[in-house]
Structure 1
């Protein structure tokens, strides 16, 4: 978007203080990033959810660092005036600090991200702190953490009892102390998400976490119903049905090709006068006739 100034982590914290919500959406390629930027999104998330919505995997676990670098670089080309956060995929920040920083370096230098996102709470605080000390902004992510879906027993709402609420609060505070500039709260009860948002000085960004967060994030394909087999989700509001429009458009195209109504006269290019006769003379098959 011409003239748009990208946010930074200082401005985001000020927006929280001023009560101005942050609007974040995922993007996975050049055109989706362009459109999201033109629509005014504050932040773009190159999510490892691309494993589900782009690659067709059952989870985010198969997504690799190379996948994230490739898609992050595409998004960065499409949205040159928007703050871009890129997910660190499964098991790329649970080894040594040196290995973790090498992976971060790739997302920043090759993927052109402005920040990285990491799933987990207190258990990854040391890695978060090391990355922040290296000069890279980190967005935390707690609640439902899809990379740990096999460990936490599926896609379940978090924060339903007092013990779980305390765990989430402790994790959020640990990420804040480690230097994270914000925290994504996914599938967390509204009461717990609101309490965490009030307790932290850094922004919270909710997805299925209710109205008390400092911002919201949704998946591009959910917002636009951009899939053939879309399943409704309680925490999502869809704003367009691209899947139906795409299917209808391609169906009409196939029909036009089959009945020869495409290409029509307005879609073809004509040669100079006399070329038809010369072609017939050259190849001995008479004048070249074309459909009308």
Structure 2
């Protein structure tokens, strides 16, 4: 009498359950498989990592780089945007570095015409290691400040303050619509917001941190006052920078290591030079290659 024997599924490893009645799509993993998945999710610069894990910038290995038409951008300021990732540097250079007209002077300081100038590349080193708050950690500081500081609470809740400082075409941003929905619920007298909802609101605050008032000194001072409170609270919690959540997670950039640096005592100017059009063209090519590789 012939017998029908089942010897497993093609390419199935011995001892690994991967087929009926077990889930073909995953979910029934061995401990080693779960560790591998966890390690992959925690890989450097992954969105999972940036949301949930703080980053430490080592003083002996980190160069914080930014672009600006002002060569002294990182001097006498309370904060600046930066990255320490090479691909990010090319991405920002390709997207945001354009020539602008500027008066040219002779050696005696007399104007002799107009030329086109690119942004300065400003590199900075660190005196000591600084810790970058992940989205979770930044949101936790934000939540505590929201609970304890009445003026900060009003800044967040008042439509004419934080919400009005968001970009003018705000409704095309999914993140803005999500925040609006949460804030509308929070206005109800008997409503108690959750930690997750305040984390959504934090994303808007993170976005408006650099707002300078767009010519309105009162609005600029308002934002400066509130971000100073936030920066001080972050410093008390041991942080010298926070993740730029828009560029890292929610915007279209998906930058790898964009940070907002505010512990200026640790920042040391390292090198400043004016970029050239050829630098920008090379960055364009790098950006194209990055997209093709899915990075």
Scaled to the shorter chain, the TM-score interval is: under 0.3
TM-score w.r.t. the length of structure 1 is: 0.21
Higher strand share: 2
